């Protein structure tokens, strides 16, 4: 299928952008499972009063902490 897209990419340039966006999505759910696990660890009984936006920021920082080290 990819060779066909290489040949036809000039003719279907807009569609090619959409195909690239879709084909880059991982087929595995391990990333989302890891995020849900982190969410349950972050929002424990002691932190049940966290506002959803605060929890969202904490999860974002946790999942992107390795970007700061590069």
* CB 55 within 8 Å of CB 43: yes
Q: What is the pLDDT of residues 15-66, one digit of tens each?
A: 888 877 877 776 666 767 777 777 777 777 677 777 888 888 888 887 777 7
Query: Which DSSP string do the residues of 8-45 spell out, in sequence order?
Result: HTTTTHHHHHHHHHHHTS-S--HHHHHHHHHHHHHS-G
Q: Tell me how far apart the alpha carbons of residues 19 and 3 are, in angstroms, rounded to a whole number.
A: 13
For residue 49, the SS3 value is coil
Indicate the pTM of the whole model. Answer: 0.42
């Amino acid at each position: 299928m990819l060779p066909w897209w290489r040949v036809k990419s000039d003719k279907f340039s807009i569609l090619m952008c959409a195909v690239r966006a879709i084909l880059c999505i991982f087929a595995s759910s391990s990333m989302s499972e890891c995020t849900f696990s982190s969410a349950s660890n972050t929002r424990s009984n002691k932190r049940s009063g966290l506002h959803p936006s605060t929890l969202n920021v904490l999860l974002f920082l946790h999942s992107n902490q390795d970007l700061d080290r590069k």
